[in-house]
Amino acid sequence: MTAAIIVFPGSNCDRDTAVALEAASGRAPRLIWHRETALPKVDLIVIPGGFAYGDYLRAGAIAAHSPIMREVVARAHAGVPTLGICNGFQVLTETGLLPGVLTRNASLRFVCRDVHLRVEQTDSVFTCKYRPDQVLRIPVAHMDGNYIADDTTLQELEDHGQIALRYCDADGAATAEANPNGAQRNIAGLFNRRRNVLGLMPHPERAADPHHGGTDGRALFAGLVEMIAA
Protein backbone atom coordinates (compact mmCIF):
# COMPACT_ATOMS: atom_id res chain seq x y z
CA MET A 1 0.00 0.00 0.00
CA THR A 2 1.31 3.46 -0.89
CA ALA A 3 -0.05 6.20 1.30
CA ALA A 4 0.33 9.96 1.18
CA ILE A 5 0.17 12.08 4.30
CA ILE A 6 -0.63 15.71 3.65
CA VAL A 7 1.46 18.07 5.77
CA PHE A 8 0.29 21.62 6.43
CA PRO A 9 2.18 24.24 8.37
CA GLY A 10 1.04 23.40 11.88
CA SER A 11 0.26 19.70 11.31
CA ASN A 12 1.70 17.81 14.25
CA CYS A 13 0.53 14.21 14.00
CA ASP A 14 2.05 13.58 10.58
CA ARG A 15 4.98 11.64 12.01
CA ASP A 16 2.80 9.67 14.46
CA THR A 17 0.48 8.65 11.66
CA ALA A 18 3.38 7.72 9.40
CA VAL A 19 4.76 5.45 12.13
CA ALA A 20 1.42 3.66 12.53
CA LEU A 21 0.97 3.26 8.78
CA GLU A 22 4.48 1.99 8.28
CA ALA A 23 4.03 -0.52 11.10
CA ALA A 24 0.86 -1.79 9.43
CA SER A 25 2.01 -1.80 5.83
CA GLY A 26 5.78 -2.15 5.98
CA ARG A 27 6.08 0.90 3.77
CA ALA A 28 6.85 4.43 4.79
CA PRO A 29 4.13 6.78 3.55
CA ARG A 30 5.05 9.81 1.48
CA LEU A 31 4.78 13.15 3.20
CA ILE A 32 3.28 15.69 0.84
CA TRP A 33 3.80 19.39 1.57
CA HIS A 34 0.62 21.42 1.26
CA ARG A 35 2.03 23.71 -1.40
CA GLU A 36 2.30 20.87 -3.89
CA THR A 37 -0.34 20.93 -6.58
CA ALA A 38 -0.04 17.34 -7.73
CA LEU A 39 -0.25 14.05 -5.88
CA PRO A 40 1.68 10.96 -6.86
CA LYS A 41 -0.37 7.84 -7.50
CA VAL A 42 -1.30 6.58 -4.06
CA ASP A 43 -3.73 4.08 -2.57
CA LEU A 44 -4.57 6.14 0.48
CA ILE A 45 -4.58 9.81 1.43
CA VAL A 46 -4.33 10.80 5.06
CA ILE A 47 -4.87 14.24 6.52
CA PRO A 48 -3.29 14.07 9.97
CA GLY A 49 -4.01 15.78 13.25
CA GLY A 50 -2.54 19.01 14.47
CA PHE A 51 -3.28 22.68 14.20
CA ALA A 52 -2.94 23.48 10.51
CA TYR A 53 -2.42 27.23 10.26
CA GLY A 54 -2.82 27.37 14.01
CA ASP A 55 -6.53 26.57 13.52
CA TYR A 56 -6.84 30.31 13.26
CA LEU A 57 -10.19 31.64 12.01
CA ARG A 58 -11.82 28.17 12.31
CA ALA A 59 -10.26 24.75 12.80
CA GLY A 60 -9.27 23.41 9.40
CA ALA A 61 -10.59 26.41 7.47
CA ILE A 62 -7.38 27.86 6.11
CA ALA A 63 -5.87 24.43 5.41
CA ALA A 64 -8.91 23.49 3.37
CA HIS A 65 -7.81 26.12 0.87
CA SER A 66 -4.20 25.01 0.60
CA PRO A 67 -3.05 24.29 -2.95
CA ILE A 68 -2.86 20.50 -2.50
CA MET A 69 -6.45 20.24 -1.32
CA ARG A 70 -7.88 20.75 -4.81
CA GLU A 71 -6.11 17.53 -5.82
CA VAL A 72 -7.10 15.72 -2.63
CA VAL A 73 -10.75 16.55 -3.23
CA ALA A 74 -10.52 15.36 -6.82
CA ARG A 75 -8.92 12.06 -5.79
CA ALA A 76 -11.46 11.52 -3.04
CA HIS A 77 -14.25 12.11 -5.55
CA ALA A 78 -12.55 9.59 -7.80
CA GLY A 79 -12.79 7.02 -5.02
CA VAL A 80 -9.32 7.03 -3.43
CA PRO A 81 -9.64 6.14 0.28
CA THR A 82 -9.16 9.37 2.22
CA LEU A 83 -8.79 9.49 5.98
CA GLY A 84 -8.95 12.64 8.11
CA ILE A 85 -7.91 12.28 11.74
CA CYS A 86 -8.86 15.03 14.22
CA ASN A 87 -7.64 18.20 12.51
CA GLY A 88 -7.87 16.18 9.30
CA PHE A 89 -11.58 15.58 9.97
CA GLN A 90 -12.02 19.34 10.46
CA VAL A 91 -10.26 19.98 7.15
CA LEU A 92 -12.52 17.44 5.40
CA THR A 93 -15.69 19.15 6.65
CA GLU A 94 -14.32 22.55 5.65
CA THR A 95 -13.70 21.30 2.11
CA GLY A 96 -17.20 19.88 1.97
CA LEU A 97 -16.00 16.31 1.43
CA LEU A 98 -17.91 15.49 4.60
CA PRO A 99 -21.09 17.26 5.66
CA GLY A 100 -21.57 19.32 8.84
CA VAL A 101 -19.15 21.31 10.98
CA LEU A 102 -16.89 20.63 13.93
CA THR A 103 -17.31 23.41 16.46
CA ARG A 104 -15.84 24.28 19.85
CA ASN A 105 -16.22 21.54 22.48
CA ALA A 106 -19.29 22.06 24.63
CA SER A 107 -17.01 22.37 27.70
CA LEU A 108 -15.09 25.12 25.88
CA ARG A 109 -11.95 23.32 27.00
CA PHE A 110 -9.40 21.23 25.16
CA VAL A 111 -9.95 17.59 25.98
CA CYS A 112 -7.26 14.91 25.96
CA ARG A 113 -8.24 11.51 27.29
CA ASP A 114 -9.25 8.01 26.35
CA VAL A 115 -12.79 7.63 25.11
CA HIS A 116 -14.86 4.60 24.25
CA LEU A 117 -16.18 4.28 20.73
CA ARG A 118 -18.83 2.02 19.29
CA VAL A 119 -18.22 0.76 15.79
CA GLU A 120 -21.41 1.53 13.89
CA GLN A 121 -20.50 0.37 10.43
CA THR A 122 -18.01 -2.29 9.43
CA ASP A 123 -18.70 -2.19 5.72
CA SER A 124 -15.83 0.10 4.73
CA VAL A 125 -12.13 -0.08 3.97
CA PHE A 126 -11.49 1.68 7.26
CA THR A 127 -13.59 -0.36 9.65
CA CYS A 128 -13.60 -3.80 8.01
CA LYS A 129 -11.40 -5.35 10.70
CA TYR A 130 -13.76 -4.39 13.52
CA ARG A 131 -16.91 -6.20 14.61
CA PRO A 132 -20.27 -4.47 14.49
CA ASP A 133 -20.94 -2.74 17.84
CA GLN A 134 -17.41 -3.48 19.00
CA VAL A 135 -16.37 -1.08 21.76
CA LEU A 136 -12.93 0.51 21.27
CA ARG A 137 -10.80 2.57 23.63
CA ILE A 138 -8.86 5.27 21.77
CA PRO A 139 -7.68 8.74 22.88
CA VAL A 140 -9.10 12.06 21.75
CA ALA A 141 -7.22 15.36 21.93
CA HIS A 142 -9.00 18.37 20.53
CA MET A 143 -10.58 21.75 21.12
CA ASP A 144 -13.15 21.59 18.31
CA GLY A 145 -14.79 18.20 18.07
CA ASN A 146 -18.40 19.13 18.63
CA TYR A 147 -20.09 17.85 15.48
CA ILE A 148 -23.05 19.83 14.21
CA ALA A 149 -25.31 19.28 11.22
CA ASP A 150 -28.94 20.10 10.49
CA ASP A 151 -31.60 17.49 11.15
CA THR A 152 -32.03 16.56 7.53
CA THR A 153 -28.34 15.92 7.15
CA LEU A 154 -28.22 13.90 10.36
CA GLN A 155 -31.11 11.78 9.20
CA GLU A 156 -29.39 11.16 5.87
CA LEU A 157 -26.22 10.16 7.67
CA GLU A 158 -28.17 7.64 9.71
CA ASP A 159 -30.15 6.37 6.73
CA HIS A 160 -27.08 5.75 4.63
CA GLY A 161 -24.97 4.20 7.34
CA GLN A 162 -22.50 7.05 7.21
CA ILE A 163 -21.91 7.24 10.95
CA ALA A 164 -18.77 5.21 11.50
CA LEU A 165 -18.15 5.63 15.23
CA ARG A 166 -20.05 6.99 18.18
CA TYR A 167 -18.79 7.98 21.63
CA CYS A 168 -20.12 5.49 24.15
CA ASP A 169 -19.45 4.19 27.64
CA ALA A 170 -17.44 1.06 28.40
CA ASP A 171 -20.57 -1.03 27.82
CA GLY A 172 -21.31 0.47 24.43
CA ALA A 173 -24.14 2.82 25.42
CA ALA A 174 -23.98 6.16 23.60
CA THR A 175 -24.78 8.31 26.60
CA ALA A 176 -24.35 12.06 27.14
CA GLU A 177 -21.74 11.42 29.85
CA ALA A 178 -19.65 9.41 27.42
CA ASN A 179 -19.61 12.27 24.92
CA PRO A 180 -16.41 14.31 25.39
CA ASN A 181 -17.38 17.30 23.28
CA GLY A 182 -21.12 17.57 22.84
CA ALA A 183 -21.18 16.14 19.31
CA GLN A 184 -24.69 15.60 17.99
CA ARG A 185 -25.79 11.99 18.22
CA ASN A 186 -22.40 11.21 19.81
CA ILE A 187 -20.81 11.24 16.39
CA ALA A 188 -17.08 10.54 16.58
CA GLY A 189 -16.47 9.43 13.00
CA LEU A 190 -18.23 9.94 9.72
CA PHE A 191 -18.14 8.55 6.16
CA ASN A 192 -19.11 10.18 2.92
CA ARG A 193 -21.94 8.49 1.07
CA ARG A 194 -19.55 6.26 -0.88
CA ARG A 195 -17.61 5.38 2.30
CA ASN A 196 -14.23 6.04 0.75
CA VAL A 197 -13.79 9.11 2.95
CA LEU A 198 -13.63 8.84 6.73
CA GLY A 199 -13.22 11.68 9.20
CA LEU A 200 -12.83 10.90 12.89
CA MET A 201 -11.91 12.90 15.97
CA PRO A 202 -10.15 10.13 17.96
CA HIS A 203 -6.52 9.32 17.21
CA PRO A 204 -6.12 5.66 16.18
CA GLU A 205 -2.37 6.26 15.72
CA ARG A 206 -2.15 6.86 19.48
CA ALA A 207 -3.59 3.44 20.21
CA ALA A 208 -1.42 1.41 17.90
CA ASP A 209 1.46 0.22 20.07
CA PRO A 210 1.47 -1.65 23.39
CA HIS A 211 3.39 1.27 24.92
CA HIS A 212 0.36 3.45 24.21
CA GLY A 213 -1.58 1.49 26.80
CA GLY A 214 -3.97 0.08 24.17
CA THR A 215 -3.93 -1.06 20.56
CA ASP A 216 -7.55 -0.67 19.47
CA GLY A 217 -6.57 1.75 16.72
CA ARG A 218 -4.31 -0.71 14.99
CA ALA A 219 -7.06 -2.62 13.17
CA LEU A 220 -8.02 0.52 11.28
CA PHE A 221 -4.59 0.68 9.65
CA ALA A 222 -4.39 -3.10 9.26
CA GLY A 223 -7.81 -3.12 7.58
CA LEU A 224 -6.74 -0.49 5.09
CA VAL A 225 -3.62 -2.42 4.20
CA GLU A 226 -5.59 -5.61 3.69
CA MET A 227 -8.40 -4.09 1.65
CA ILE A 228 -6.10 -2.06 -0.54
CA ALA A 229 -3.85 -5.03 -1.23
CA ALA A 230 -6.88 -7.14 -2.11
List of residues contacting other proteins (CB under 8 A)? 9-10, 12-13, 15-16, 19-20, 33, 49-51, 53-58, 61-62, 65-67, 94, 100-101, 103-106, 108-113, 139, 141, 143, 146, 148-149, 182, 203, 205-206, 208-209, 211-213
Active site residue 36: no
Q: Is 205 a catalytic residue?
A: yes
Catalytic residue (one of 86, 116, 120, 142): 86
Instruction: Select 80 or 114, whichever has its Cβ closest to other proteins.
Output: 114
What DSSP string describes 196-207? Answer: SEEEESS-GGGS
Active site residue 112: no
Q: Pick the closer one to other proteins by CB: 57 or 74.
A: 57
Complex with other proteins: residue 101 or 173, whichever CB lies closer: 101
Q: Residue 95 CB, nearest distance to other proteins (Å)?
A: 11
Q: Which residues are catalytic?
A: 86, 203, 205
